[in-house]
């Protein structure tokens, strides 16, 4: 292979690209699941009586689940980017 040339994943001996496509599909499915499931779950958390104190301020229960939502959506974004890059 000459300098400056890139070898594609599918060009490796014994590798036909199916593993790369499978990994991309898993990442994309993960992204879709997280974007669908976590906001739905968080809506339930916001309606839970443990989410607010007597003064209406968010409790630790609310804040912990908000952090989980943000992390899950960040993982979804990374999965989406990774899945797309694997398919390119």
Residue 10 confidence (pLDDT): 52
pTM of the full structure = 0.76
Domain boundaries, the chain: 17-87
Q: Let me know: does 34 contact 73? Beta carbons within 8 Å.
A: yes
Burial (Cβ within 10 Å: 0-12, 13-18, ≥19) of residue 13: exposed
Q: Is 14 helix (H, G, I), strand (E, B) or coil?
A: coil
What is the Cα–Cα distance from 26 to 3, expressed in whole angstroms?
Answer: 33
Indicate the pLDDT class of residue 5, thresholds 50, 70 and 90: low
Tens-place pLDDT, residues 23-64:
999 999 999 999 999 999 999 999 999 999 999 999 999 999
């Amino acid at each position: 292979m000459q300098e400056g040339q890139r070898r594609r994943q599918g060009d490796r001996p014994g590798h036909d690209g199916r593993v790369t496509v499978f990994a991309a599909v898993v990442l994309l499915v993960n992204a879709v699941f997280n974007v669908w499931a976590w906001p739905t779950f968080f809506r339930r958390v916001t309606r839970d009586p443990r989410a607010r104190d007597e003064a209406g301020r968010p409790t630790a229960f609310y804040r912990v689940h908000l952090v989980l939502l943000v992390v899950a959506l960040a993982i979804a974004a990374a999965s989406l980017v990774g899945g797309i890059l694997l398919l390119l």
